[in-house]
Amino acid sequence: MGERRSFSRTPRKALSREARQQLISDMLDEEFGTSTVEVTEIGEPARAAPAPVARDTLADSFDALDALDAQPLALEDELRSPERDETEHDTQDHQPELQDEDDAAFDALLAEFEASDDHDDDDLDETVALTPPYELEASEALALEESYRAPSEPAQQAAPVSEPEPEPELPPARSDAEKARQERLRAAYQASAPALHIEPADRWNALDVMPVDVEHLEQNLVITASRNEPAHGAFDVLRTRLVQTLLEHNWKRVAVTSPTRNCGKTFTSVNLAISLSRYEATRTILMDFDMRNPSVAGVIGDTQPGKMGDFLRGTISAEELLVRFDQNTLNIGAGLAIGTNNVIEPYASELAHEPSTRASLDRMMEEMSPDIVLFDMPPALAFDDVIAFRQHFDGVLMVVGGGETSPEEVREVMRRMGEETPLLGVVLNQAEGEDGSDYSYGY
């Protein structure tokens, strides 16, 4: 029966009933020659036929079982394709040769790759040399070299080239008429724009000083300077009441006038100013506004009087006009500045309406910061100067002369100036002789 194989029931179960019968028949024919052995199908136990008589039942059974184990494996080998067996056989035979060839090719490729890397590190500018049959033509080698050098160049070349932007067109040149129009508009704007306010520097201490002539002051009845006359007390009272009234109403500018001539307005103005100078915390300015008959410079002894008309026109500054008293033994304080005049102005009332007059006075107030300004004005009934200068002062101090001024004249002065003009006080000069020895004062 040939070589004995391992016992297994699995192939035998995979065969159909007819195949198993044919297999048993073939096995019996092979065992007993060409004689046909009739195979009886094994059915249910109740229908089983009696077993045939054999020559050696036990030996035949073992031999049949061995044949059944070996026959399916042999049948499986017969059913396989001869071409497949040959291919597998050839593959198994040639497998060692193919493996050797693959190893050799891989080693050659690896060696070539390493050589190429060494060559690139040494000199990138040289063309890669390839052994036949891998040699490249000159154009192909050049393309390969460029690809190694700058791989990003193709992307840059592929980008579209932007066209240069056109230069902006310059505006057409303006005509002369247009330029002139622009200049006029610019000048009008600058004229209408408000000027920046710059805080002026205090120029009080920069004023010129004049020496004090005590004898000259006494001769001109400046009794408040030496304080030898008992009448100086009346000016101190006037000073105190005037300061209180000004502070109460926040006023600073006072016009000193009289109804007629020879009432003593200049005498009152100078003595009141010197009395105010003894207030150390108060700055006082006395201005000679009687430009038809200036007399303040002669009373105080100023040998270099200024020009009030030039100051009001803006030709000279307050610093050039005003003067202070030098240090003295009469205790005339440094808080007094006097603006004198020696030039007669026949058109004084017209000058009062000029814009330069207001500008000059406002600039003096800013630069000198006075607390009180006294204006020695002309007689109110003689000229219209007091009425013309009404816009430049806050109130009026009236000086009347005993025996010289009537009540009707005082009322006429107040009527001309109007009810809106504040009357700060009335100074009564009761007597006035040629030498001033008969002076008496009343308030």
Lowest mean pLDDT segment, chosen from 34-38, 241-245, 371-375, 389-393: 34-38
The answer on pLDDT for 412 being more than 60 is: yes
At residue 42, the pLDDT reads 46
pLDDT of residue 175: 77
Q: What is the mean pLDDT of residues 93-99?
A: 54
How many other β-carbons are positioned within 10 Å of the β-carbon of residue 331?
11
- DSSP β-bridge partners for residue 440: 431
**What's the CATH code, domain 204-442?**
3.40.50.300
Q: What is the pLDDT of residue 403?
A: 80
CB 401 within 8 A of CB 263: yes
Query: What is the number of residues in the chain?
Result: 443
Lowest-confidence region among 54-58, 207-211, 270-274, 316-320: 54-58
Question: Which pLDDT does position 390 carry in this prediction?
Answer: 94
Q: Read off the amino acid at residue 69.
A: D
Predicted confidence at residue 323, as pLDDT, reads 97
The kind and range of the H/E element at 98 are helix 82-122
Instruction: Decide if pLDDT at 90 tops 70.
Output: no
228 pLDDT tier (thresholds 50, 70, 90): confident
Report pLDDT for 392. Answer: 96
Map residue 256 onto helix, strand or coil: strand
| Lookup: tokens for 423 | 């009357």
Q: Is 26 exposed, middle or buried (0-12, 13-18, 19+ CB in 10 A)?
A: middle
131 vs 292 pLDDT, higher one = 292
Using the structure block, give the residue that is written with the tokens 């207001």.
358
What's the whole-number mean pLDDT along residues 276-299? 95
Look at residue 335 and tell me whether its pLDDT is greater than 50: yes
Nearest residue to 257 via CA among 438, 389, 441: 389
Whether residue 250 has pLDDT greater than 70: yes
Give residue-wise pLDDT tens across range 351-361. 999 999 999 99
pTM score, two decimals?
Answer: 0.55
Domain boundaries along the sequence of the chain: 10-79, 83-146, 204-442
Residue whose entry in the numeric block shows the structure tokens 């504040």: 422
- Average pLDDT, integer, range 105-131: 56
The gap from C-alpha 237 to its chain's centroid, in whole angstroms, comes to 61
pLDDT tens for 144-181 read 555 555 444 444 455 555 666 666 666 666 678 778 87
At 8 the pLDDT is 44
265-275: average pLDDT: 95
pLDDT > 80? residue 85: no
More confident call, 105 vs 427? 427
What average pLDDT score do residues 366-373 get?
96
Q: List pLDDT tens digits, range 14-46.
A: 556 676 667 777 766 665 554 444 544 444 444
Q: What is the pLDDT of residues 211-226, one digit of tens each?
A: 999 999 999 989 888 8
Mean pLDDT, rounded, of the chain: 75
Give the chain's end-to-end CA distance (angstroms, integer).
Answer: 176
